[in-house]
Structures are given as structure tokens and as C-alpha cells.
Amino acid sequence: MSSLILDGKALATKIEENLKERVIKIIEKTGITPILATIIVGDDVASVTYVRMKGNACRRVGIEPLKVELPESTTTEQLLEEIYKLNRDDRVCGILLQHPVPKQIDEQKCFNSIDIDKDVDGVNVASFGAVTMGIRGYRSATPYGIITILKEYGIKMEGKHAVVIGRSAILGKPVAMLLLNENATVTICHSKTVNLPDIVRTADIVVAAVGRPEFVKADWVKEGAILVDAGYNAGNIGDIDLKNSASKSSAYTPVPGGVGPMTITMLMSQTVDSAERKYL
């Protein structure tokens, strides 16, 4: 069977072209360039790279990146103070707190203090609640990217059995809720799940968000299933053994070039949504 490659890189580029035009319209109408503020605490190498990539994406679509750098020793109270400042700053349309933050910080408390109208990375529990209930709210970026790819390629979710492996707050749980909102029948698996391979064998759609290289084996995959690999492990390796299972699938997201490129684009997309709500 030939499998369709769900090309997130190409889709991200296409979406960015549209975002550029939307930002130009905002600037033409208001003379204001929308700002995305990114807070980074400490100097974790991966986080520094992600923040740089997000800054570059802002520049590509015409958003102004504002980087707030705080020392590793920052306390929860100090971080909250910075978030409150950005909440009050009328020029800022979106706030992103790069995670993970150092251990002494209460991350969820900080996420929850981001104004939900500026929570373009969808990390506030109020945003999660709104999205889960199917009312307007910013979605967690990677899950939103996954649903956007599936829709772009016309993959029907309604009535399908979707098995999500992983239940993190930023990925597993929200993607499960988005799939549910698309009328999929969703099973959420995690480290305490019993008989995981047998559950995956019943999946029409597999979303792997585990953080373990090639964790999902080819003999767990049903012929014709759709494979969404959100994993990104050292050496550009996903959470699904795609080398051996892609050919069994009807469609799959490659690693790299599948889910990964969509995440930052969805952040940009929700920042432009926020700017349009504010200015147009």
C-alpha cells in the first residue's frame, strides 16, 4: 500500500504566507506592528534555540518579537511580576513562557497568570477548559498543529478510533480533547496503561507523544492506520518506528518535517488571531 506523507513543513510554509498578508493588513490599517513577547528563564540550550526559532518565525511573518530574558535564579513571584507587566502592556498581543522553567518556579501558576486573551501558546488552564468545552480559546500549539495537518489532508476524524499515547498538559491531553471535538472516539494511554500494543492495534489514528525514540513498533500498527508522530528525540528520531511501520499506514507524519514545523506556525497563527481581535 502506498502511504500519504503528511508534509507539515510544506503546510507550515503555506500558512505563513497567509499570515504575512494578514499582518500587513493590520499594519496598514493601524500603523501598529503586533508584538509576541517571549519569556525565557535561564539559559537551557534547547530553550534558547526554540526561542531563537520563534523570533525568526515572528520576523518571517512580520510580527515583532520581544524577548524577556530572566536569570536562572528567578522566583515564581518575580516571574509572575514580569507576566503581569506584559499582561498590562497594550502593545503585546501574545505572551509565550518558554518551558521548562527552572525547578524552583511554579510553572502552572505562571502559565495560569497569562491573560487568556494573550495566551497564544494555549497553556493557561482556562484556555484548555475553553477549548475542551468547544468554546473559543487558544489551543496548545502542537495539538493544534496536528489537527490542522489532518484537516488539510482531508483526513476524517469523525467516528475513527484515535489512540493517543501520552497525557502531558501541552500535548497528550489537549490533542485528545481536540480529537474528541472532531468526533473521534478517543483512548488516552500513558505509562500505567496495560496492554498498550493491543490497544494501539485497534487504532485508526495513532498519535504518539511519549518522548521515547521509536517507541511504537510496526507490529502494533493496524494496516491502513494514520500515524501521527509528535515525538522529537535526539538525532531527529520520532516516537514511532516509522522505518518499519510507515508502509503499513495509509498516511503518516514524517520526522523531521511532520508535526514539528507546525508548532511554531500555530503559535504565529494564534498571535495573528489575537492581533486581529485587538486591532481589526
Select 165 or 203, whichever has its Cβ closest to ligand NAP. Answer: 165
Contact between 123 and ligand NAP by CB under 6 A: the answer reads no
Q: For residue 160, indicate whether it is catalytic.
A: no
- Give the three-class secondary structure for 194: coil
Catalytic site residue from 7, 119, 121, 229: 121
Select 26 or 253, whichever has its Cβ closest to ligand NAP. Answer: 253
Buried b / exposed e across 55-73, counting CB within 10 Å, b at 16+?
Answer: bebbebbbbbbbebebeee
- Give the three-class secondary structure for 60: helix
Contact between 8 and ligand NAP by CB under 6 A: the answer reads no
Q: Which residues contact 213 (CB under 8 A, 6 or more apart)?
A: 231, 233, 234, 235, 237, 238, 239
Phi/psi of residue 228, nearest 5 degrees: -115, 115
Sketch the per residue contact string, 173 through 212, with ligand NAP: x for CB under 6 A, - otherwise: ----------------xxxxx--x------------xxxx
Q: Which of 233, 256, 278, 279 binds ligand NAP (CB under 6 A)?
A: 233
Sketch the per residue contact string, 213 through 232, with ligand NAP: x for CB under 6 A, - otherwise: -----------------xxx
Q: Which three cell numbers stand for residue 152?
A: 488539510
Contact between 266 and ligand NAP by CB under 6 A: the answer reads no
Select 26 or 220, whichever has its Cβ closest to ligand NAP. Answer: 220
Name the segment binding ligand NAP (CB under 6 A); options: 28-36, 93-101, 107-115, 168-176: 168-176
- d(CA 81, CA 92) in angstroms, rounded, equals 15
Q: Which three cell numbers stand for residue 217?
A: 513498533
Number of residues that bind ligand NAP (CB under 6 A): 26
Select 201 or 278, whichever has its Cβ closest to ligand NAP. Answer: 201
Q: Which three cell numbers stand for residue 5?
A: 506523507
Q: For residue 54, indicate whether it is catalytic.
A: yes
Q: For residue 98, indicate whether it is catalytic.
A: yes
Region for 7 from its dihedrals, namely left if φ exceeds 0, alpha if ψ lies in -120 to 50, beta otherwise: beta
Contact between 259 and ligand NAP by CB under 6 A: the answer reads yes
Does residue 256 have a cis peptide bond before it, meaning omega lies within 30 degrees of 0? yes
**Contact set with ligand NAP (CB under 6 A):** 142, 165-168, 170-172, 189-193, 196, 209-212, 230-233, 239, 259-260, 263
Query: Which residues are catalytically annotated?
Result: 54, 98, 121
